[in-house]
């Protein structure tokens, strides 16, 4: 099912589709080994030619219903801070969530501010029942962002991901559509 990627806004942020002018900013932010260390799919060193092909692939991924990717930008200046992607499964009942921020923007609450509008879009516009995300055990900041957004830790996927020459554990987090009601009321929906 084809999807149009809408622009979403928060108090400080504007989440919009990636575009070709984002290429230099994307390269600059992703060349940090610290960003790559926390992400399964970002290589280090980050090859600059990958940025253009990835940006150009986003429209087709959305058109095919495989992935919806937003650039996380400051609302006032349009400065690129990072990105967030929802990748629905073929049955469109669940999706994988992935997000990252450039190192200069860590610790400012931007990811925690962006996730609620992405979750709302996933549940209300895509009709998802479950949104899940995995984090490396060493990425405690990302785990805290998920926990603040009412994701539940479901367990450790031992040796699940290969990063470079190493098999690494991932921690699985998930949030169901009904968890939102439980989070606010303290009881199941």
Over 60: is that where the pLDDT of 2 sits? no
**CATH superfamily assigned to domain 8-134:** Gcn5-related N-acetyltransferase (GNAT) (3.40.630.30)
What integer pLDDT is reported at residue 101 of this predicted model? 98
From residue 148, how far is each of 77, 107, 111, 117, 183 by CA, in Å?
26, 14, 10, 14, 10
End-to-end CA distance of the chain: 29
What integer pLDDT is reported at residue 92 of this predicted model? 81
Please give the average per-residue pLDDT across 143-161, as a whole number.
Answer: 97
């Amino acid at each position: 099912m084809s999807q149009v990627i809408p622009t979403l806004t928060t108090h400080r942020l504007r989440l919009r589709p990636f575009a070709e002018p984002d290429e230099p900013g994307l390269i600059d932010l992703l060349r940090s080994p610290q960003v790559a260390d926390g992400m399964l799919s970002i290589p280090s060193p980050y090859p600059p030619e990958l940025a253009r092909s990835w940006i150009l692939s986003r429209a087709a991924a959305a058109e095919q219903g495989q992935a919806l990717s937003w650039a996380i930008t400051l609302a006032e200046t349009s400065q690129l801070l990072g990105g967030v992607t929802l990748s629905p499964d073929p049955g469109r009942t669940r999706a994988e969530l992935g997000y990252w921020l450039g190192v200069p923007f860590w610790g400012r609450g931007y990811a925690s501010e962006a996730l609620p509008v992405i979750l709302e879009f996933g549940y209300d516009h895509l009709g998802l029942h479950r949104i899940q995300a995995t984090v490396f055990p060493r990425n405690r900041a990302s785990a805290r962002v998920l926990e603040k957004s009412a994701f539940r830790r479901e367990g450790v996927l031992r040796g699940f991901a290969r990063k470079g020459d190493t098999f690494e554990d991932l921690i699985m987090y998930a949030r169901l559509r009904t968890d939102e009601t439980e989070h606010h009321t303290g009881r199941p929906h």
